[in-house]
Structures are given as C-alpha cells and as structure tokens.
Amino acid sequence: MSAARWRRAMNTGAARTSHLPATKGRANVRLVGLPPHPVVVPGDSRGRRTLALLVTPRYLVVLIALLVYPLIASPFFTYQIGAQSLGLGLIALSLTFLGGYGGMVSLAQMTVAGIAGYLVAIFGTSSAAAISLGWAWPVAVLFAVAIATLAATAIGWLSVRTEGIYTIMITLAIGVAFFYLAQQNYTLFNGFQGFNKVFAPSIGGLDFREAVPFYYLALGCALAGYFLVRLLVRAPFGLALQGIRDNPRRMNSLGFAVTAHRVAAYAVAGLMAAIGGVLMVWYNNRISPGTLNTGAMINILIIAVLGGMRHPIGAFLGAIVFVLLQNFAIDLVDRERFNLVIGGVFLAIVLFSPDGLLGLWALVRARLGRGRPLHSNPRRQRS
C-alpha cells in the first residue's frame, strides 16, 4: 500500500526534479545515487531514460577498462587482485547499501557470505565426502543463495529494532555466534577444518577455476550488484529507505512501514552478500571458520568505510586498495612491521577524508575548480 502511494507521489516528483532540481517539497528525500548531470534524452520512454541516467560516457570508459584488464594483466593480477577485489567488493557493497542508504551498519554481512559459502560446500562437492551432498552446482548455488538470503532476512528482522551502535553489537554477536557454531559443529560444518576442494564449475569447456573466466564471472556479479543498487536507490523502495534513514518517525507518520522496509533492505543486502560468498568460496577453493571470523567481519567494514559509503562504487574502490595493501605492504616494510603500513594507510584515509576514497576524489575535483557536490544535499557535503 505505502509503496504504491509513494510511487504515485514520486512519479510526479521525479518528472519535476529533472526540470527543477532541489524542489523544496522533496528536499528531505535525497537522491544519492543520481549522477548530477544526467544525459536526458528528451521525449524518451521511461526505461531508456533510466538507462541513460545510469550509463554515462565515463561508465563506458570504466567498463571497457574492466573488460580489457585481464587481457593485459598477469594471471596473478587478474585472479588475486582483480577477482578477489570484485568478490570482496560485492560483499562490502551489501554493507554500503545497508549502511549508506539504510543507515544500518551490520557486521554480519561476512557471516551471510560465509553461510552461502558453507552451503555451497555442503550441498555441492568437497573433500568432506561424508557431509557434502554432491548436488549439481546450479542447484547447490541456488539453494545456498536462497537460504543465505533467508538467514540475512532473519538477521535483519532481529536487528532492525535496534539503532546505531546496538545494531553493530547485535550483528557482531550473531556473526561471532555463527563463527563458533561453524568451528564446533562437526556433523554439518566439519568443525575447525571446514571444507577443502570446493571448486568453481566448468560450463561447456569454460573452466571457472581459471583466472580469466573467473574474473569475468566475478565482474558480471559485481556489475549486476552495482547496477542493482544504483537502480534500487532511485526506485520508490530505495527512496523510502533513505527517508527512513534520515527520519524514521516522520516516515512512519507518513504511513510507511519502517520495519518492513528495513527488513527488506537486509534481504536485498543479504542476496548480494550471498552471491559474494559463493564467489569467495570458489575463489579460495575452500571454506573454514577462519574465513568468517571476527577479523574477516571487520575487514568488510574497513573496505566499505575506506571506499566511502556515499556511493556504491566506494565498496569496490575500498576493496582494491585493501587487497593491494594486503598483498604488497610486506614488500614495502620487512617482516612483521608490515601491518603498520596497512593500518597507517587506513588511518590516514579515514583521518583526512571521512568519506573515504570517494571523499578524497571529490576533494581533488573541488581543488581543481571543477568540483561539484558529491552529495545532492549540501548539508551532508564536506566543505
């Protein structure tokens, strides 16, 4: 009911905003994902206009670069840097969506990804033949993603009644509980050792265990996740979600089901995290409790914050920087000191730019004089 009403309101509103930006009546609903200068083709159908809004020339440049990348990079850079960044980025994107657009910081996104990864190993094939059911991979993946999404919804349903730091605490508790469950349960999760030899499938001669095919698979999933978020935050559901983030009481009094919207946001984020989890289990060829321990849960938060939570691309930028640092910091400083470099860079980025890498980018553009607000709402824009 409420969504339909909102859609009606927004249809008139959206038409107006394209001509009259920042109309007073709509000012408290921020169109975060919207490029500020969209290429609007006059007199076009709604679908094509949306496409034009989403795909600007610079997108094509980035897209071509991403597609050409594995052809010029070494297998190591394609697989370990490229594919891993895309997989981790997708999980971090689920947190960006929840945190940036829904105002709910969940630490359990890695847990959702881990549930999906574990289920792929349990339903599919692995070294633990006594546990794995050996289903065909499409069925295993489908069930794994579906159940992980359900689990994410349940986590959401449990934690939406809390705010701020309490959401972080409750999702942390859920994540840690699942970690111990996986570590101590032997009948289902195979305890400390977990599952080895969980391999990506090969379809018609295309072996996804190879670096380049796996990179394209990860790229496909990452792009799907990215555009899903871009579309969703402009859709009535996303707009309502952002409204709830900014003023839940007001949205409630306007007739929106606040809890339902928040739980739905967890479900959508869970879907993305689950797909990211399947990618990561195929990437590692294995899963064990160490994959989803507290450190891994916090890494996802670091990636999201590092990149910036104002825009979905931040998750992927953060993941690239994170993966590069994890791999190459040890070459800069010898021995055990290399974690100091990783921590130092994180600290510097967050210290100088509360909006992460995206904030730095906006800062540079502003310095160059071509700046324009990163955010459509001037109040939230860094001065």
Partner 1 sequence: MTTTNTWWTRAALGAAAALALGGAAQAQETLKIGLLATLEGPFAAPGQDGMRGADLALKQKNGMAGGKKIEFVKVSSDATPDKAVSATRKAVEQDKVPIMIGPLSGDEGIAVKNYAKTQPGVTFINGSSGAQGATLVDPAPNFYRFNTEGAQWMVGLGEHALAKGYKKVYLVAEDYGFPYSQVQGFMASYCAKGGKVVDKAWVPLGTKDYASVIAKVPKDIDALLVVLGGSDAVNFLTQYEQAGGDKPMIGGSITVDQTVLNFKGKRRESLLGTASAGPMADSIDTAEWKKFVADYKANFKDGFPSPSLFAYLYYINTKAALDALDTVKGDLGNGQKAYRDALQKTNFNGPAGPIKIDENRNAVGTTYITEVTKAPDGSFYNKVVRSVPDISETLGLSDAEFKKMGLGSRDVPDCRK
Residues 5, 8, 161, 197: which binds partner 1 (CB under 8 A)? 197
Nearer to partner 1, 210 or 246 (CB): 210
Site string for partner 1, 313-342 (x = CB under 8 A): -------------xx--x---xxx-xx---
Q: Write out the binding residues for partner 1, residues 78-117 only, by CB under 8 A.
A: 79-80, 84
Q: How far is CA 161 from CA 174, 246, 249, in A?
A: 15, 16, 13
Residues 167, 291, 299, 376: which binds partner 1 (CB under 8 A)? 291
Least distance (Å) from partner 1 to the CB of residue 310?
30
74 is an interface residue for partner 1 by CB under 8 A: yes
Least distance (Å) from partner 1 to the CB of residue 63?
26
75 is an interface residue for partner 1 by CB under 8 A: yes
Nearer to partner 1, 19 or 335 (CB): 335
Tokens of 231: 């579309």
193 is an interface residue for partner 1 by CB under 8 A: yes
Least distance (Å) from partner 1 to the CB of residue 208?
14
Least distance (Å) from partner 1 to the CB of residue 198?
11
d(CA 269, CA 225): 9
166 is an interface residue for partner 1 by CB under 8 A: no
**Are residues 303 and 322 in contact, defined by beta-carbon separation less than 8 angstroms?**
yes
Least distance (Å) from partner 1 to the CB of residue 285?
7
| Stretch touching partner 1 by CB under 8 A, among 39-47, 192-200, 251-259, 307-315 | 192-200
284 is an interface residue for partner 1 by CB under 8 A: yes
| Stretch touching partner 1 by CB under 8 A, among 40-48, 73-81, 146-154, 249-257 | 73-81
Positions that interact with partner 1 (CB under 8 A)? 74-77, 79-80, 84, 180, 183-184, 186, 191-193, 196-197, 284-286, 288, 290-291, 293, 295, 326-327, 330, 334-336, 338-339
